[in-house]
Amino acid sequence: MPLFVIVRHGQSQWNAENRFTGTTDTPLTDLGRHEAHEAGILLKSHQPPNFGIGFTSELERAIETMAIILEEIEQTDLPVERNAALNERMYGDLQGMNKEEAQARFGEEQVFRWRRGYADTPPHGESLADTHVRVTAYFKTVILPHLQAGQPVLVVAHGNSLRALMMELEHISPDDIEKVELATGIPRQYEYDQKTGVFNLLPK
């Protein structure tokens, strides 16, 4: 069964500053680069992967994380497709704002709903539901055919775009996805059963 791996990019500068990053193109920190190296080392320490193709968003922090991982697993020649469908959700008016400042301005409960809720939309931004629509459409039309053809696939993207994808892979409900947190730089690995279309989550 082909391997399917998703990785949230390493820590970015705005992650470190506790800011809403969204679609703002911020670079990795030194810690973020270390996390990316560790992700590659972890992947290589299990059964060494031999990916057929990779996918990232169009944002620098995901692109650099992918490059570092491929260096560690010695697959720097892997073809990688970049697409905005995998970008982080757009946080609208919150982008660039410190999360504690946002809580002081809008209230802790409201900010929690914007961050974790499925259908809650920040001012001029995207909800997770919006993100889910674009991510799953791209997954089904572009990524899934590679797995159906038996190609192992690596995706490096963002906390919310990958949470949206996890809903599809693991059949997570809109209520339950609020409780799901995806750490930076930790590979999440699945085997794709080509006969049943099921994604089996592998142990860490």
The pLDDT value recorded for residue 46 is 75
What does the alpha-carbon distance between residue 174 and residue 155 come to, in Å, rounded to a whole number?
Answer: 22
- How do the domains of the chain map onto residue ranges? 3-201
Catalytic residue, chosen from 17, 72, 74, 88, is 88
Arch. (CATH architecture) of 3-201: 3-Layer(aba) Sandwich (3.40)
Work out the angle at residue 66's Cα, subtended by the Cα atoms of residues 63 and 69, and round it to the nearest 5 degrees. Answer: 150
Query: Whole-prediction pTM value?
Result: 0.96
Annotated catalytic residue 46: no
What CA dihedral angle connects 92, 97, 98 and 100, to 10 degrees? -70
The pLDDT value recorded for residue 106 is 95
The pLDDT value recorded for residue 49 is 79
Annotated catalytic residue 38: no
The pLDDT value recorded for residue 168 is 96
Q: In what order do the strands lie in the sheet with 53-56?
A: 80-82, 53-56, 153-157, 3-8, 188-192, 199-201
Q: Which residues of the chain have pLDDT under 70?
A: 47
